[in-house]
Structure 1
Amino acid sequence: MRRLLFFGILLAGVLSFGISEAVQTKLVVRAKSKDAKFVGSKMGGAVVVVRDSETGKVLAEGLTSGGTGDTETIMNQPKTRFGKITDGSAMFETSIDIAEPRLVTIDVEAPYSDKTHMVKSSTQIWLIPGRDIVGEGVIIEVPGFAVDARAPEAVKMSDNKAAIPLNAHIVMI
């Protein structure tokens, strides 16, 4: 009887060894303009899509929201390895259920409010069950400018020459 009980417990242990439960893992993603500030709500935020790199399955998606961050900290202070630059900046926050380490691809497209200027940037990271990536989170740099030409609306050319006065509003994405 003892032997049967022992083998029953051993069998249950062996069978349950391969079964692991999914764990909520928090992830924060931020979109930062190259050599500039974070893409905030005023620019429509940034579209964030988190995918399983192996299967392509979408694990989370949404928009960053919030401010562009502190200008003095981001633009003027020297950067240090563990220095924080994200206070008050836009972010996308999610929780993903994972049972084992998973390589994910994070795509960011910004600015969301102006599709003609949207730029896509990506990175890959390993998510470990229960090891949250919060605080500064994952910062993905988005290069480019949003250019809004205000004048001229139309140009007349004569002899393939024209003096064109230009008025534009240019903002780093």
Structure 2
Amino acid sequence: MAKAQFHKNQRVYVRPVGTWAVIERVVPQWVKDVDEPLRVFYDVGLGRDFTATELQTEQSAALTEIDPAMEEWRVVRQPNKWRSVEECATHPFPGSYPVIMTNTAEGGGWRVPGMEYDFAPERVELQARIMAASPKFLVLLNRLVDYATSNPENLPEEVLVLARDAKTMIEQTKKIEAV
């Protein structure tokens, strides 16, 4: 079941289009004999309805914390400009290097310096996959902490230790440290 995350006349950032808009209508999708809508769509006057994952509020745009429900990070391949395919034949993907896209636009994301990739390509490939999966890892850690907090008497001590470690890791991701 779905609940509306936004309301009419709310200003939102429409990620697939890359512009700000105002929600004109909240469009629930109902199913017979069900009390709540199955899905909720939002009409922002741009020609089609959008889902909540495609929209972002002004407040969430200013947060320093990732909302995993709104993030779909992925690893894409870019052509290697500093070496030919023959020069990097031993790399896992000769002629290309990984780029982690953290935005719906193809321009946003993280890239690795060429010399670092040449030094340890397998290591960089692993790092890219881990970075791309990190919003999902954060969801898992939060679920573990929530479950351990609500059921401490039913869990073995080893799982409680894991949950405490997960909570520490989550708190550390929220800190901004000066260099």
TM-score of the pair, normalised by structure 1: 0.23
- Higher fraction of helix: 2
Between Structure 1 and Structure 2, whose CA radius of gyration is higher? 1
- Higher fraction of strand: 1
TM-score of the pair, normalised by structure 2: 0.23
Higher relative contact order (CA 8 A, sep 6+): 1
